[in-house]
Amino acid sequence: MGIALCAAALVAATTLTPAVCNIHCDGRTPGSGREAVTTTVGAVRLSLRFDDVAGMGWATTDGGATSVWLDRSFDAGVTWTPRLGATSGAATAMYNVDDWANRGVGALRACAAAGAAVGCTEWARALPPGQDRRDAAVTGLMLFYRNDTGLFAGTGWWNSANALTAVVGGGTPGYHYAIANTYDRNVGAYLGQFRNEFVDDTGWWGLAWVAAYDATGDRRYLDTARADAEYMHSYWDDVCGGGVWWRVERTYKNAITNALYVQLNAALHNRLPADTTHLARARAGWTWFQRSGMINAANLVNDGLDTATCRNNGGVVWTYNQGVVLSALVELHRATGAGLDAARVLADASTADPALHPAGVLTEPCADVRCDESTASFKGAYVRGLGALDAALPDHPYRAYLRRQADAAYAGARTALDTYGVRWAGPLTTPTAATQQSAVDLLNAARPRR
């Protein structure tokens, strides 16, 4: 359909809502398609159907509705444009799910009124041909991305760093526009160059920019990662024999900050010709970590040190503390040829720990449903590190584990939008950007490798 015909076809379809035109424009006459989700409104069966090739959807009923229409959202259903194609007939016209021109990643739902009853289906999306469950999950994560802020809505600063890392690792270059947008909109935030009062936050962002550099080759991202590493190093001192402080107040040395320090410095060494500084820091960081006492007798990593005694504080065995150290050791192995034996010992311990795997499915120690928005990102960081280790080992010993976790999440934690809740074993909880980032990390780690 040409532009002129497209515009003419829209006159009857909508007069108040700007039309979206992708392959076709809003208002197209439906043909055959896939039934995605259904519900009952009064005595009326309501269906949302998709033409997956066109990327468009429409609402249908089996008759008896006084009105039927579509709602369209570009923020995972937080807000929406209502009553698209409202009609007293049995089916609406077709409307686009996404708005490509404005980088709007969208969702549709079908709604109807039948007498006094009014109801809608779940939100759902078209399924582009050839899309696998990892692609769908990356798109689900982009539903939470805000083009105006360059961050992921409803979650924290460091969680957005992890979400961007997951998108970059998701193998969907069409969403890589988020890299430059996030950078340009936030490079001056807080202390600049993605530094703030939390030293671990700076490490997460530094690693996000390493991933961005790998994906784009743009040197400014690597330069920012170097600035972040320098900032982290400024909080290394001799208290408790070494290590980096968690916050600028210098009151706590913990596992996550120091594992990120090792990973970021090793990653920089692996990307900077003739580097010696970052390698020396990575080696010193890992030597200190091993000797710190944070790795307990079960080869699990507790949260940190009691500053008064410089001993393991017996803190929670969070999943991300088990995973980021694996990512760090994989980068260190790439630099030095050593580290994988130690990583394997730690990974064997965490993948077999029954407290982390009730019913065999990875579960955060806070019982998931009580997890806050920070802890919702933890399992993603864990499986990201485990996936990196599995890829580095010739026998791929954790591949079956990762696939079991991915299968469990796909079966028990997924919505019609391919967004995931925090409980991979189910029941389904409300997805957020953080829970979706963890699911994308899982599907990235579990993907088939050649």
44 in a structural domain? yes
Predicted TM-score of the model (pTM): 0.94
Question: Which tokens hold the place of 215?
Answer: 């994906």
321 in a structural domain? yes
**pLDDT category, 370, cuts 50, 70, 90?**
low
444 closest CA partner among 126, 231, 136, 5: 136
**Residue 208 shares a structural domain with residue 319:** yes
Q: What residues make up the domain containing 93?
A: 3-120
83 in a structural domain? yes
325 in a structural domain? yes
Q: Is the pLDDT of residue 6 over 50?
A: no
CA–CA separation, 109 vs 443, rounded Å?
26
126 in a structural domain? no
**Residue 243 shares a structural domain with residue 375:** yes
**Percentage of the chain exceeding pLDDT 70:** 95
Q: What is the pLDDT of residue 367?
A: 55
* Close Cβ partners of 133 (under 8 Å, ≥ 6 residues apart): 406, 410, 418, 443
**Residue 42 shares a structural domain with residue 159:** no
Question: Which tokens hold the place of 389?
Answer: 């280790």
Q: What is the pLDDT of residue 68?
A: 98
Give the residue from 120, 153, 179 where a domain finishes. 120
Question: Which tokens hold the place of 130?
Answer: 């050839």
Q: What is the pLDDT of residue 2?
A: 33
127 in a structural domain? no
Q: What is the pLDDT of residue 12?
A: 33
Do residues 215 and 168 lie in contact, with contact meaning Cβ atoms separated by under 8 Å?
A: yes
Q: What is the pLDDT of residue 184?
A: 98
402 closest CA partner among 418, 383, 420, 385: 383
Between the CA atoms of 411, 412, 416 and 421, what dihedral angle is there, to the nearest 10 degrees? -140
Q: What is the pLDDT of residue 366?
A: 78
Give the residue from 120, 148, 178 where a domain finishes. 120
Q: What is the pLDDT of residue 16?
A: 58
For 63, counting Cβ atoms within 10 Å of its Cβ (0-12 exposed, 13-18 middle, 19+ buried), the class is exposed
**pLDDT tens, position by position, 281-340:** 999 999 999 999 999 999 999 999 999 999 999 999 999 999 999 999 999 999 999 999
**pLDDT category, 445, cuts 50, 70, 90?**
very high
Number of structural domains in the chain: 2
**Residue 76 shares a structural domain with residue 150:** no
**Residue 390 shares a structural domain with residue 416:** yes
CA–CA separation, 78 vs 144, rounded Å?
10
**pLDDT category, 126, cuts 50, 70, 90?**
very high
CATH code, 144: 1.50.10.20
**Residue 112 shares a structural domain with residue 175:** no
Give the residue from 93, 120, 147 where a domain finishes. 120
CA–CA separation, 39 vs 278, rounded Å?
57
**Residue 181 shares a structural domain with residue 328:** yes
**Residue 224 shares a structural domain with residue 351:** yes
The mean of the pLDDT values for the chain is 94
Q: Is the pLDDT of residue 4 over 50?
A: no
401 in a structural domain? yes
**pLDDT tens, position by position, 24-48:** 999 999 998 999 999 999 999 999 9
**Residue 324 shares a structural domain with residue 434:** yes
331 in a structural domain? yes
Q: What is the pLDDT of residue 123?
A: 98
126 closest CA partner among 47, 73, 37, 56: 56
**Residue 137 shares a structural domain with residue 107:** no
End-to-end Cα distance, the chain = 41
**Residue 224 shares a structural domain with residue 306:** yes
**Residue 240 shares a structural domain with residue 174:** yes
Which DSSP string do the residues of 56-119 spell out, in sequence order? EEEEEESS--SEEEEEEESSTTSS-EEEEEEESSSBPPBEES-BGGGTB--EEEEEEEETTEEE
Beta pairing, strands 44-51 & 81-87? unpaired
